[in-house]
Structure formats: C-alpha cells, structure tokens
Structure 1
Amino acid sequence: MSRPIRTLLFSTLFPSSTRPVHGIFVETRLRELLKSGAVQTKVVAPVPWFPFRHPRFGDYARMAATPERETRHGIEVLHPRYPLLPKVGMSTAPLLLALAALPAVRKLQAEGFDFDVIDAHYYYPDGVAAAMLARWVGKPLSITARGTDLNLIPAHALPRAMMRWAAQRADASIGVCAALMDVLRGWGIDGKRLHVMRNGVDLERFRPLPQAQMRAELGLQGAPLLLSVGHLVERKGHHVAIDAMPTLLATHAQARLVIVGDGVERERLKAQARTLGVHDSVTFAGGVPNEQLLRWYSAADALILASSREGWANVLLEAMACGTPVVATRIWGTPEVVTPESGGVLFEPREGCALAAAVQQLLRAAPSREQVRRYAEGFSWQQTTQAQLDLFRRLSQADVACA
C-alpha cells in the first residue's frame, strides 16, 4: 500500500483520562506499533453506561466521567456507552457492545477515516462484538487473545460458543503466548490464521536504577526484599506470597514482602498477615503509576508472581528489565517468559510452601542483575511490531483484492 495502513483498534480494555492504567498493555502495544510510522489508528473503547459520578461509586463513577472523545498520546479515542445488564450481562454483552459501538465506527468513517482492518483485543465480549462489527461494515478482522478470555471464560457454554463463532469469522487471531493459540487450535481453527505475538517490554521506561538508592528513597528495608505487583484480587496470588512468609522468616529473619496494588482484597490480605503473625514483615504500598514501577522493581531482590491465570504477564519482563529476577507459578504463557536463561524460578503447586522453596532456590543461586537485564533485552517490541505490520498489510491487501 502506498499510504499507511489504517487500523481501528476496538476494545473495552483501553486507558482513559479517568482510568489511566486500565488496559494499559493494549495501549502500550499500539503506541509501539505507531512508532513504525507505517500505521494510522483511531480507537473505539466503549465503557459501560452508569448514571452517577459521585466518588463513592468508585470505578463506576470513573466510567461515568469518561469523556465521549479524547486524545491520548496523540491517539484519538472514542468512548461510546453500552448497557451492562444485571444477571444476563455476560450473555448479552457482545451484542449490546456492538450495537453501541456501531454509531461511533460509522462516525469515524463519515469523518474520512475509512480504516482497512479492525484490530480487536480480548476475545470476550470484545472479540465477539468486533466480529459482528466486521460483518456489518465489511472489514477484515484480527482478534488478540490476552489470557483470561481463553483460559477461563470458555468454561461457560454460551460465551464459548460465541467465541468459537468469532474465531471462525476472524481473518486472524493473535495470542500473546502459544498456549492461548493452542486453545483455538483445539477448536478446529485453521492454524494459518493463528499467530503468536508476544508482548515486549519498554527497555527505556524499565531499566536498572541503583538498588540502595531506591530503597532509601522509598523507605524500604529487607533482606531479602520481595515484591508482589498487581491488582489485589485472588487470581494475582498475593495471599500465596503472604502464606510463604512464615517459612521464609524462619531462615531469613529480615525478609520483607512489599505488595504494590489496590483492590477489593486489601483488608482480607491484611487480616491474613495478622493471623499468620507476619504483619510486621508485609508492607502494603498501594497503587503505583506504571512509570514509577521501575523504582520498586530496582529496589527489590526478587519479584513474586503467584497468579492462577496469566496469558503473558507484563510485570515479569518489566522486573527483569530492571535487573530483578522473578519467581512465578508455572502456568500458561509464563514458562515462555521465565526460562532457565532468565535466571528466574517457576514453582508449583500454587501454595505458600512451594513458593517459599522457590524463593530459597533463587536466593541460593541468584543471577547477577546484569545477567537478568541482558535476558530482558531480548524482548524488545521490534519483532512484535514487524509481525503486526506484516499481518495488517496482508489483511488490507486481501480486502482491496476482494473489493
């Protein structure tokens, strides 16, 4: 094509001025793609309709306050509202999402942005809705699977059936790890339409900083100093990290666990630490902006990720890019990131005693921070960006040929 490829990114997982870290991994991949100069993109990122903006309604209030249209990092984003119905919301969400987004898509086309490809993220409900939109506007479709969409939601029969329909309709499916594409392969989707494009890491944003200096600035102490990062929800496994502390303190009396993140489990996790008698050795740091995480990674001796489900966990490469080795559960795409060459350790089962043993294994033969950083440098965004360009160019040319 003589002009740049025009893509329409469609996903409910995209940041806004009121929720700046929501779906930041989708925005990050897009921003890396746009650096190529070969793509022009606009974003349709629907948000659930909610009538009240009072802070006491928390995240729903932030959704209500989301502007209808805004520009982030030079990217134009539309936020149409869609109804999220109680009790039946999971089954009706794809259709309601597609119907609500269609006017926004048509508006962009009327304004002159006649895109070549729909680039959808998250298979359900977003990918299913995108498959409807692609049919209605007659455009090629790529859907990126990111983790829970294919390793949890298919347990429900109706969503699984709708996802299979969308996968059959999509011109391409992208997985951030090979394990996710294995799910679609098991559904009988043609392997030629399945692509693995791993997430990269921003090696400029995430870089080693002096460990002693970061500890002093953040007021952190511990030997070892362990870090657990993520929303305070069960699947992120902060409770497993707390469970490991009594065993670790028995051999490392100065050990400290720092938990970075906010969420509904905060008080329960604090109560767990008190019950186990380790509350003096566990710090709850609250939420930290993404651009500040490098200070916390650099301060730590190890990152712990005790998740029950992950497609491709960005925190693993972020920590390693800062020179910090990782200990993580052996699940889904994580073994594709934490290899023997990384210096990290995988553990199973997902229990405190197994995690404690893995941390002790890492401490006995800890890799140098320089070695860990070198490993992370092999995960720049360049390869993924080029793979996207090749795919979107092929889909765009095929659409022109069919027209």
Structure 2
Amino acid sequence: MRVALVASSYLPRLGGVEEHVFHLARRLRTRGHEVVVWAVDQQDDVPAEDDGHPLRYLPTPLPSRSVGGVLRWARALPGARSKWRSALRRDAPDVIVVQCFGSNGPWATALAKRAGVPLVYANHGETFMDAHDAFASSRLLRRSLSTALRQAQAVTSCSPYAADDLDRFGAHAPVTIVGNGIDPDTDAEQIPDPLPRRYIAGVGRLVENKGFDVLIDAFALAAAELGDTGLVIAGDGPERSRLEARALERGIAPRVTFTGSLRRAQVRTLLDGALAQVVPSRVEAFGIVILEGWRSGIPVLATRHGGPADLMTHGVDGLLFDPRDAAELGALLAKVATDSELRAALGAGGRRTVARYTWDHVTDAYEDVLCSVVAGKPAVDAEPRS
C-alpha cells in the first residue's frame, strides 16, 4: 500500500503532530508499506529526505479577504498546483491521509478528489486546540473542513472528545478513535541547567490555553504545605514573560524554574525525577505529556476538560481537576506531595495504562483503517460516531 501522509507541520519543527507522523511513517514502512510525507512548506531549512524516503514540502496558499491577499493567492496558485500534481505523479499514493487539518487540508482534499484517490482525515483536536483559533476566525477553513469530512472515506480522531467536536462541521463517516502513542524505550538525556532536589513538573508550549497560569496560582496557594518542593515548567512560547511575572507577583518566583524548550529525551529526564506532573490545560484534545508522565511512573494530575477524561481513571492512574479552579488543584498538589502511598499507587496505575499506548498499537489501528479504505470497505469502528 502506498500512503501519503499530508501533515500540517513536520520536521524540523517539533510538536505532537510532527511526532505522530514521524513514528507512524516509520512503523508503517517496517510493515512493508510505501509511505511518503507531504508537509506544508513554511520556508524552513528542511531535510530533503525522511528516513531515506522523499520528503516533500508543498506550498499551500489560501485566499484571504483582502484584495492584496487574493492577488497574492492568484499569483501563487499555478506554481502550487504544479508542485502538488508533481508529488501525485511521483508518489502515486493509494490513499491520502490529512494529518491535522490546516492549510494542507483544502489542497489535499482537492487533489484527492481530482485524482480519484481515497481520502482519510486524521483529526488531532485542531478544531478547538489551534493557538490562533483558526477555525473560529476563518470561514474558508470551516467550509474546507466540511467538504473534506463529506469526501473522506474514513475519519480518525485522537479522542472521543475531539471526535464529538467534528459534528458541528457537518456530516461525516463514523469516527475511529486512534490515540497518540509513546516510545517506552526513549533514552534519557541530561538537562544542562540544575533542577530542584524535589519538584512538581509541567510540560508544554507556553500559550494561554495550556493553563500554566492556573498551575502557578495553585502552587502559590499550596506553597506552605509543599515545603521545599519546587515547580519546574518546561517549554517556551509567547506567555513565558507573563508567567514569570505571575510567579513573582504570587511570591513564589524563587521556587519556580523555567527550563525553556526541551527535547523529548530531556523531558524524560525531567519527569523521571519529578514528584508529580501537572497538565493544566483549559481544554486538551489528548495530551501526549500524560503518556510521558505515566511512562516515568509518577502521578499525573490532568485537566478534566477534553480528552484526558477519556484516557484517565480518576484515583487509579491519575487525578482529574477543573482547570478553572486553582484552589482544587492546589489541594491536589498538597495531597500528592505529602502522601507517598498515593504517589506510588497512581504511578503504578499509570505504568499499567501506558502499555496500551505504544506506537505499534497506534499503527495497528491506522493500518486497519487504511487497508479497509484502499480495499473499498467501510473501516471497522469500535466506537462509532455520527
């Protein structure tokens, strides 16, 4: 089977979608499938190959509402069409898979229809998780997604919560839930800067939706009960200066460490040494960082708004909380910091649960969907959704 994974973003950029496509492509190839990645050209300095296979960065111009924007789109259109058609001729995919619907989506949808190639849409929660709220601001993107959903022979989604959100864009095939995965054997890599002796960790991009302001507030409320425990926030983004100022305002700045962006192997080191991990997002589609905390065998405290509530059993493999309630989170921080038996129980529960989320399991699910689509059969769906 020849598969084109059409990614909204890919190497050298780092993130959940990029990692998902990276691991999926490699494991499908080990099973004998020919896989090529088509990614959005973002004018990066990019590699020419992916795992020894062609890696194609394609332009995805879209018209905007301004006269200038329409003119720029019209000038870019012929060249972009030529590059997409060239990719189609060279790779001749049996199926085209849109991995996260952005500017890649309209182009992949149109090409699949024109060429008569089956289309699969893999949703990653972008309809409500996009940092710029693109689906709220762009009518073109909303209409394009509705078109893609009607056309797609199969739809997957990272969680039931994210799948439910697709209903507002119109009719679509039943959704197969295919979560994210994790490599249980990722090596740990040293973090250059020293960490506190005892700390609670938060990992993610420093944007408003990730809720690190609530984590800082909760830590400040529980500071007295937390004793000598510090807070380490790993990641970078536009909210970093505001978060640093917030820690200062709350009187806990000396106890909060901002590491900046870390590589995956460094995240493993961070979590292996943490007392607990917190995922305070205001809403979360899935939460790969939850899997990372489970792998490290530490308690994971996660938002109950979104996908984590579908993954986690409260009190068994983690603790769920309302991300709007800093007092509730503060009480949970104090509880896990002072109760070693609870930490051990939650850590053991997480290790058991994460075994269900390897990349091989993810690839099994995709392979079933893709093979069914290429064979012209409906995809088998254990959790059907309208």
Query: Same fold judged by TM-score > 0.5?
Result: yes
Q: Distance in 2 between matches of 1:153 and 1:234?
A: 15
Q: Provide Cα deviations, 1:27-50, integer angstroms capped at 9, x if missing partner.
A: 3442453254232111111224xx
Equivalent residue for 1:277?
A: 251
Q: 1:117 aligns with which of 95, 114, 118?
A: 95
Q: Distance in 2 between matches of 1:358 and 1:260?
A: 20
1:186-205 map, 5 Å: 187=169, 189-192=171-174, 194-205=175-186
1:75-154 map, 5 Å: 75-83=53-61, 102-111=81-90, 113-150=91-128, 153-154=134-135
Equivalent residue for 2:382?
A: none
Q: Distance in 2 between matches of 1:241 and 1:88?
A: 40
CA contact (8 A) 2:201 2:232 kept: yes
1:37-56 map, 5 Å: 37-48=31-42
Equivalent residue letter for 2:85: R
Cα RMSD, aligned residues only: 3.0
Q: 1:240 aligns with which of 200, 211, 214?
A: 214
Cα pair distance change 1:239/1:85, threshold 3 Å: farther
Equivalent residue for 1:173?
A: 155
Equivalent residue letter for 1:315: V
Q: Distance in 2 between matches of 1:134 and 1:191?
A: 17
* Consecutive unaligned residues in structure 1, runs of 5 or more: 49-63
SS in structure 1 of the partner of residue 353 of structure 2: helix
1:341 shift after superposition = 6.5
Equivalent residue letter for 1:38: G
Q: Distance in 1 between matches of 2:315 and 2:369?
A: 30
CA contact (8 A) 1:15 1:23 kept: no
1:207-246 map, 5 Å: 219-223=194-198, 225-246=199-220
SS in structure 2 of the partner of residue 115 of structure 1: coil
1:14 shift after superposition = 1.3
SS in structure 1 of the partner of residue 356 of structure 2: helix
Moved more, 361-370 or 37-46: 361-370
Q: Distance in 1 between matches of 2:358 and 2:16?
A: 22
Q: Distance in 2 between matches of 1:355 and 1:45?
A: 39
1:198 shift after superposition = 1.0
Q: Distance in 2 between matches of 1:155 and 1:146?
A: 16
1:3-402 map, 5 Å: 5-16=1-12, 19-21=13-15, 23-31=17-25, 33-34=27-28, 36-48=30-42, 64-67=43-46, 70-83=48-61, 102-111=81-90, 113-150=91-128, 153-156=134-137, 158=139, 159-185=141-167, 187=169, 189-192=171-174, 194-205=175-186, 219-223=194-198, 225-340=199-314, 342-363=316-337, 364=339, 365-368=342-345, 369-398=347-376
Cα pair distance change 1:349/1:310, threshold 3 Å: closer
Moved more, 35-44 or 225-234: 35-44
Moved more, 277-286 or 242-251: 242-251
CA contact (8 A) 2:214 2:326 kept: yes
CA contact (8 A) 2:25 2:35 kept: no
Percentage of matched positions with identical amino acids: 25
Q: Distance in 1 between matches of 2:147 and 2:242?
A: 40
1:84 shift after superposition = 6.8
Cα pair distance change 1:70/1:138, threshold 3 Å: same
1:301 shift after superposition = 0.9
CA contact (8 A) 2:309 2:320 kept: yes
Q: Distance in 1 between matches of 2:79 and 2:302?
A: 39
* Consecutive unaligned residues in structure 2, runs of 5 or more: 378-386
CA contact (8 A) 2:7 2:21 kept: no
Q: Distance in 2 between matches of 1:154 and 1:272?
A: 30
Cα pair distance change 1:125/1:98, threshold 3 Å: farther
Q: Distance in 2 between matches of 1:246 and 1:98?
A: 53
